[in-house]
Structures are given as C-alpha cells and as structure tokens.
Amino acid sequence: MTSPLSDPSRIARQKALALRNLDLFRASLRPDGHFAALDRDGTPKPGPQELIAISRLVHSYALGHIAGAPDCETIIDTGVRTLWRTLGDDLHGGYLAAVEGDGPVRSDKLAYGHAFVLLAASSAEAAGHPDAARLRQDVTGVLEDRFLDPARGLYEDEFRRDWTRFSQYRGMNANMHATEAHLAAFEITGDQRHLDRAQTILRFFVDEIAATRGWRLTEHYHPDWSVDESYEGDPMFRPAGTTPGHSVEFGRLLLQAWDLAGRPKDDSEAKARALIETALKDAWQPGGGMAYTLDFDGTVLRPDRLWWPVTEGIGAVASLLKLGGTASDREWYVRLWDSAEALFIDDTHGGWFPEAQGTEAKASLFEGKPDIYHALQAELLPLHDGLSGHYTGLKGVLGSE
C-alpha cells in the first residue's frame, strides 16, 4: 500500500501550510525591530521579548530558508542578534527569560530556554548565519557549566539570574528539548559530545523510566532523579501527571539519534514504537485530538486538546512510516492530519489554533497563535526521507533558494 507520505495532494497541502505559516509569523518582528507574540488573527501584541519564542522563530525561519521559502533572512538575523545582545546576560552569563524596555522582566535562567537557544543557533548556522556558531558555542558552554548534573548527565532546570540555586525541581521537558538541540548541534558540527549528551538523556528517560512504567514518560522528578508523582506546577509547562505529546516527541528523537549513530543493531525502533503507540492509544479522544495529560496508568486527567501533541504525533508517525511502517501507522498519519484539519488549522488567517473543543477553536492555556515551531515541523519534516539530516534533507523542498 502506498505511504501517505508520498501522496501528492498531501505534500502540496503541507507545503502550502508551511508557506502560509511562515507568512503569518513574519508579523512577529515588529517595525521597531522587537519581537512580539501574535493575536489569533496575526496582529502583534504588546509585551516582552521572550527567549523561548525568539529562539523558536529563529529555528523555524532557518528551516524555512533552507527549504527555499522567501524572506526568512531578516527574522533569522534579527533573532540571532536579539538572543546575543538583548537576552544574553553580560553581567552573569547565560540568557534571560524575557526582557522589555531597558531590562529583564523574567530574569531566572532556565535549562528549557537555553536548550532552545542551542537549537536556534544550530539551525541558524545551518542556514548560513555568520554569528550563529559563536552563539552555539556560548550556549553549549552555559548548558555544560551551569545546568548539567555531571553525575547523571542530565540537566537541572532553573537558577536565579546570578546562578543562585532556589529550586530542587528536575524535569523531563527541559531534557527532552536539550536532546533535540544536541542532535541538531551534532548534525551541523559533527561534534560527538552533542550526540553523546543526547544519548545519555535518552537512555535515562527511555530505558530507566518509560520502559519500567508501561512506556509512559513521567514529567517531574526529585533532586536524585526519582519520579515525583505528587508534583503539580504551571499548567502550561509543568502539569500534573504525564504528557503524551512528549512521549511521541521523545519517540521521534530516539529514532533521530539512532539514525545519527549509524543505526546500530539494537532495539531503538521497538522502543520508539512503544512510546508512540502507547501515547496515541492512551490519549486519543472522541472527535479527534489527544488529551493533554494522563494519570500514571494512562487514564485521562486533562482532556484539553492542544495543537502541539497532534503536530508531534504527525512527526513521530512520519518517522515510523519512513522505516516502512504498518497499516496502523498509515491510518494514524491520516487520522492525525484529519484531526489537524478539523480542529486546529486556521485557513482564514494562517497558522494553527492552540486548542480545540468540539469543532470550535478556543483558548484556555494559550492565547492567540502561540508559536510557529510545532506546526512548521509537522508540515516540513515529513517532506524528506530521513529520520535525521533535516538541514540537508529539507533543502529546496518549498522552492529554490
């Protein structure tokens, strides 16, 4: 049976969505050179310049530039300069979470945000930005020197601006995005330490956690990296329970790392499939979409259906299909895209709505159009054959550079 990855109509739709997404989010760069979040119709909103949002924009427009989309260079260039000059902390090192006007409005140093700086720098370097390597080298050093728990090879989460320790929280999410960033850095540099760091993180969360807990990834940990089942924090970034969208994302990253390591004869494929299939089975909701959070036995805690788990499901199942796939994989890929079309994609203004209830787009956790990053990767990554090699595999897929 023909893979849906090779369906010409699907390919054309994904390309059109990617170009529309890139067009919408150009408004994130205001005429005054500052970055802004967008309302639902794409209008920039007043507010601070945020490390995570700018890093994701740089990464996304770097992918767009490599893929051949027009007019991506300004956001890449302004974003790299903003990360380095505005959000970079000359006083204490590292990168501030958010700035507005003349100073920080959130000054804590987060491993999650620094991971996205590494991803942005790696992608900007792949797109040819002359200052990206310096940014990549600097943030790699900060992650290594400030956030790394050397005994475990995992990243601690948060410090005050002056690197004072105030939190004992340890989390999976920052480490997952650090994995993503290190794989990107390895792809652009060939530096083995980036692949080694990603594999260390993957071994802990996949082999020590998911494999012993029914292939469900737990989010929150004590300082000794034992699971903290009682933790409940920010509902947007640290909700109680498990987050199945992260399981499918980790499954894709496991396959990417396995591919970059030369596809050794091990059980990475089976582990990735277990992560992806368990999350989809547990979280899929009547009417489409994935429940936001689950209890530790896989029952639904928060049935809210957000856009990003669906985008990550698309990328994960696309990876399985690139390995040949099964009839079930083909069905899931079509089901995920059908859900995206019905619940999340905004054909009026472009981009994806952040949350759906029934067939009505709404927002409770997220306002406006939160970011381009998740949706653009769902639109672009299935367009090339590789599990890794995104920077070379995507070259020109949206048109000639």
Q: What is the mean pLDDT of the chain?
A: 95
For the record, the structure tokens of 78 come out as 């302004």
- What percent of the chain has a predicted confidence (pLDDT) above 90? 93
Please report which confidence band the pLDDT of residue 175 belongs to, taking 50, 70 and 90 as the band edges.
very high
pLDDT score for 357: 53
| Per annotation, catalytic residue among 65, 194, 220, 374 | 374
Residue 364 has pLDDT above 80, yes or no: no
pLDDT score for 103: 87
* C-alpha closest to that of 375 among 329, 327, 337, 324: 337
What pLDDT, in 10s, does the model give residues 31-49? 999 999 999 999 999 999 9
Please report which confidence band the pLDDT of residue 367 belongs to, taking 50, 70 and 90 as the band edges.
confident
Note if the pTM is more than 0.95. yes
pLDDT score for 363: 55
| Per annotation, catalytic residue among 34, 114, 246, 390 | 246
349 is catalytic: no
64 phi/psi in degrees, rounded to 5: -60, -45
pLDDT score for 319: 98
Beta-carbon contacts of 6 under 8 Å, excluding residues fewer than 6 positions away, are: none
Domain locations along the chain: 4-388
Taking the C-alpha atoms of residue 60 and residue 23, their distance in angstroms, rounded to an integer, is: 12
Taking the C-alpha atoms of residue 199 and residue 307, their distance in angstroms, rounded to an integer, is: 28
Mean pLDDT over residues 184-189, rounded? 98
pLDDT score for 360: 53
Residue 382 has pLDDT above 80, yes or no: yes
Three-class DSSP category at 170: strand
What would the CATH number be for the domain defined by 4-388? Answer: 1.50.10.10
For the record, the structure tokens of 330 come out as 């083909």
* C-alpha closest to that of 185 among 93, 260, 259: 260
384 is catalytic: no
Alpha carbon 239 to chain centroid, angstroms: 17
Please name the amino acid found at residue 271. K
Residue 400 has pLDDT above 50, yes or no: no
Taking the C-alpha atoms of residue 313 and residue 247, their distance in angstroms, rounded to an integer, is: 9
pLDDT score for 4: 97
What pLDDT, in 10s, does the model give residues 243-263? 999 999 999 999 999 999 999
CA dist list (Å): 292 to 153, 173, 247, 387: 28, 14, 12, 26
pLDDT score for 235: 84
CA dist list (Å): 344 to 17, 21, 116, 160, 288: 12, 13, 24, 37, 11
Taking the C-alpha atoms of residue 131 and residue 121, their distance in angstroms, rounded to an integer, is: 9
279, 206 Cβ separation under 8 angstroms:
no
What pLDDT, in 10s, does the model give residues 297-338? 999 999 999 999 999 999 999 999 999 999 999 999 999 999
Residue 199 has pLDDT above 90, yes or no: yes
Residue 106 has pLDDT above 70, yes or no: yes
Residue 98 has pLDDT above 70, yes or no: yes
pLDDT score for 131: 97
